[in-house]
A and B are shown apart, each in its own frame.
Chain A
């Protein structure tokens, strides 16, 4: 098992801010829009360096999405920035008609996703965004694992033509992926090879999957860990290759169990290689106020919860083999 360590914790939204700035330096057509959350989205540096290419829309997200579609029509590459719930649920129809159906080159960048938003509570803890966005034709859905990867993803999506949903978060989180990495949209990342069970995680929970694999290793279980940073298009080949070897999988995401990344994985397996899967996700309930780590424990998204899920799915695999 490959050992992962980190030297510092940084928020993924700051990775976005740095990536956006670099994307802006790479291409003068990159423009940014924000609905009164410039500091929270870490868009200040872009705003400072490119004041003419930064658009403050005020607290009016629907208008922001429409303006972004118009800017894209004019050949610009607009990045919109606000919290995940205001980036998706609040403006779903605007995204659907003016951006996705119209195939506009808009990058919808969403911070404060999932439970790790923390103390602000359920109103702001968006847990349905992956589902909403991956249902839309033309939409690419990306959920990077840490600061470095979020920065790389922000740079990469500017070079990709078409609508993209980029999901990241608020808390300082272990930085374990390489600095200045190349981000390949649609390619799952094999982090640690193993033979007994496949752990497929996305976003903040990739770090937890690595922790879970360490615990499993101590118990003599050899887990394979995949960072599924792109949820759409889905890297079906990587998922199938791994599960054809391990014959079972655990998915982990900071999202509702219905409609999320786990569903996407289950659908691939059901179609091509039916295998036992346990989905580590929020179980059809809203979140609440609390500290990020406390919330992840309470809602069953901790490394320990993944370990239990892995043991359960391996028991199911064994039962099926014996049947």
Chain B
């Protein structure tokens, strides 16, 4: 079990990986990746019951994770490699020709850790529900986790899945929405106001928690509560407040770094704010 201090150190390194990968490819999505770093690190290093060295598609008797907002692939790839799914050297191939690290996550090239392609938004909750149903059929007590962007829930399919999951008591599912209030064209308030998210998910029959997506201690506590709530007839939703671009001062609190790569000077500035704790790839 990693201490809070160890998890924080991993987060710093993961943020370096994100900046270096996106800079190296001169494309990718740093904003949401930086914002979801604590979540991903806590999930993969403390929360999930998984077997990184022996990845299998079915993941029987393990917990599964589905990334629905696939554009934040840099943070996922970094955390997958740092937790043992594949060699960190491979991070240097991100978004390049013949790489398993596609711009958006895919199973096609056989990257361990990825179970379905994502990128076209709104599909991952349905897939997670299906995987959760599969576990129930098999009497498999593993849990299914998923992550979604807040802009993503503007997609109608999310609400089809939301309705299905509560109506069918999919209570081995713990989903999280990254509430950073930003999307490509601007703030979610400007683009399409999401209204009261908590009320919406409660109205759809979910057990809802809120957490601070940059406080590792809070993340671990809320995940513990979420796990305790599983198996009680309701799917669980965690509304996670984050800051897009967290950890790099000039990328924070703006939608401008949603899908833009830093140039050499910007990358250098960003990396100077992030200590190399575990060794760069």
Q: Do A and B bind each other?
A: yes
Are A74 and B125 in contact, with the CB atoms below 8 A? Answer: no
Bound-complex Cα distance A71 to B124 (A): 13
Bound-complex Cα distance A73 to B146 (A): 14
Contact of A66 among B58, B60, B119, B125 (CB under 8 A): B125
Bound-complex Cα distance A240 to B278 (A): 61
Given the interface pairs A97-B123, A101-B108, A102-B116, the reply to whether A74 lies near B164 with Cβ below 8 Å is no
Residues of B with C-beta under 8 A to A76:
134, 137
Contact of A98 among B123, B134, B168 (CB under 8 A): B123
Give, as a whole number of angstroms, the nearest-CB distance from B69 to chain A: 13
Task: Identify which of A63, A64, A78 gathers the most chain B CB atoms within 10 Å of its CB.
Answer: A63
Are B58 and A75 in contact, with the CB atoms below 8 A? Answer: yes
Are B129 and A67 in contact, with the CB atoms below 8 A? Answer: yes
| Stretch of B153-161, B179-187, B208-216 on the interface side | B153-161
A58 at the interface (CB under 8 A from B): yes
Residues of B with C-beta under 8 A to A75:
57-58, 60, 134, 138
Bound-complex Cα distance A151 to B129 (A): 30
Residues of B with C-beta under 8 A to A63:
126, 129, 157, 160-161, 164
A70 at the interface (CB under 8 A from B): yes
User: Chain A interface mostly helix, strand, loop or mixed?
Assistant: helix
Bound-complex Cα distance A98 to B68 (A): 11
Are B163 and A94 in contact, with the CB atoms below 8 A? Answer: no
Contact of A69 among B64, B116, B120 (CB under 8 A): B116
Bound-complex Cα distance A202 to B124 (A): 35
Residue of B nearest to A101 (CB): B117
Bound-complex Cα distance A69 to B128 (A): 9
Are A67 and B137 in contact, with the CB atoms below 8 A? Answer: no
Give, as a whole number of angstroms, the nearest-CB distance from B125 to chain A: 7
A205 at the interface (CB under 8 A from B): no
Residue of B nearest to A60 (CB): B160
Task: Report the interface size class on chain A.
Answer: 20 to 34
Contact of B116 among A31, A60, A98 (CB under 8 A): A98
Bound-complex Cα distance A184 to B107 (A): 28
| Stretch of A49-57, A225-233, A263-271 on the interface side | A49-57
Contact of A68 among B57, B130, B161 (CB under 8 A): B130
Are A66 and B129 in contact, with the CB atoms below 8 A? Answer: yes
B133 at the interface (CB under 8 A from A): yes
Bound-complex Cα distance A265 to B200 (A): 51
Are A66 and B157 in contact, with the CB atoms below 8 A? Answer: yes
Give, as a whole number of angstroms, the nearest-CB distance from B214 to chain A: 30
B246 at the interface (CB under 8 A from A): no
A119 at the interface (CB under 8 A from B): no
Bound-complex Cα distance A103 to B106 (A): 10
Residues of B with C-beta under 8 A to A70:
66, 116, 126-134
Of residues 73 through 128 on chain A, the ones whose CB sits less than 8 Å from some CB of chain B are 73-76, 78, 93-94, 96-98, 101-104
Give, as a whole number of angstroms, the nearest-CB distance from B129 to chain A: 5
A62 at the interface (CB under 8 A from B): yes
Contact of B157 among A55, A62, A73 (CB under 8 A): A62
Residues of A with C-beta under 8 A to B106:
101-102
Residue of A nearest to B119 (CB): A97
Give, as a whole number of angstroms, the nearest-CB distance from B164 to chain A: 6
Are A69 and B126 in contact, with the CB atoms below 8 A? Answer: yes
Residue of B nearest to A74 (CB): B134
Are A71 and B160 in contact, with the CB atoms below 8 A? Answer: no
Are B120 and A62 in contact, with the CB atoms below 8 A? Answer: no
Residues of B with C-beta under 8 A to A53:
137
Question: A28-56, CB under 8 A of B: which get 1 and which 0?
Answer: 00010000000000000000000011010
A to B CB contacts below 8 Å, 10 in the list: A63-B157, A63-B161, A66-B123, A67-B164, A69-B126, A70-B116, A70-B130, A71-B130, A76-B137, A78-B130
In the complex, the 4 A-B pairs of residues with the closest C-beta atoms, listed nearest first:
A70-B130, A66-B126, A74-B134, A63-B160
Q: A residues within 8 Å of B by Cβ?
A: 31, 52-53, 55, 57-58, 60, 62-76, 78, 93-94, 96-98, 101-104
Known: A66-B129, A67-B129. 20 other contacts (CB 8 A): A58-B160, A62-B157, A63-B157, A65-B126, A66-B157, A67-B127, A68-B130, A70-B66, A72-B130, A73-B57, A74-B58, A74-B137, A75-B57, A75-B58, A75-B138, A76-B137, A97-B119, A97-B120, A98-B126, A103-B108
